[in-house]
Amino acid sequence: MKVRSYISSDEDQIQELAKKHDIAVPEYGELLVAEDNDGKIVGIINLRTVIMIEPFISDNPMATEKLFDEAMLRLKIKRAPIIRAFIKDNNLDLTEKVGFNEVFKEEKIVEKIIEPLTEHEIFKLRERQFKTNTKIN
């Protein structure tokens, strides 16, 4: 048994293994494979950095929007690739409206891929930092 990094020739075996276990093949991250002595892939594990939002609560719609917008800005600054959040059933529609996708139906975990800062967002951020004489970490 040997564990090694994924190579493109593994694709067919990985697709077959994922289908057998009813999961999607990971699209990003560092994929490791377990290969038996005959060269058959018998296991995979994917490593990736994910930021969790926990908790995110608000009694006021305006506060909800402002908290979310500020969090998204800070995550873009940090170049966070993906965020996930635990949610309750009654919030699924809301999370879908702001770009989250349900990834694990049983656990009610949603995720959102974070796009890099746009030039306009960078300009607004610098303008805000200048006006307030602060730096966002």
pLDDT for 14 equals: 95
As separate numbers, helices (DSSP H) first and strands (DSSP E) second, the chain gives: 4, 7
Structure tokens at 36: 């038996």
pLDDT for 134 equals: 67
pLDDT for 53 equals: 83
Task: Of 16, 10, 56, 54, give the one whose Cα is nearest residue 35.
Answer: 10
pTM (predicted TM-score): 0.55
pLDDT band at 137 (very low <50, low <70, confident <90, very high): low
Structure tokens at 50: 């994910």
Give tens-digit pLDDT for 71-130.
Answer: 889 988 888 888 888 777 767 777 777 888 887 767 777 788 888 888 898 888 888 888
Rounded distance between C-alpha atoms, residue 18 and residue 53, angstroms? 28
Give tens-digit pLDDT for 9-53.
Answer: 999 999 999 999 888 888 778 999 999 999 999 999 998 888 888
Kindly give, in sequence order, each residue whose CB lies less than 8 Å from that of residue 96, ignoring residues fewer than 6 positions away: 102, 110
Give tens-digit pLDDT for 62-82.
Answer: 888 888 888 889 988 888 888
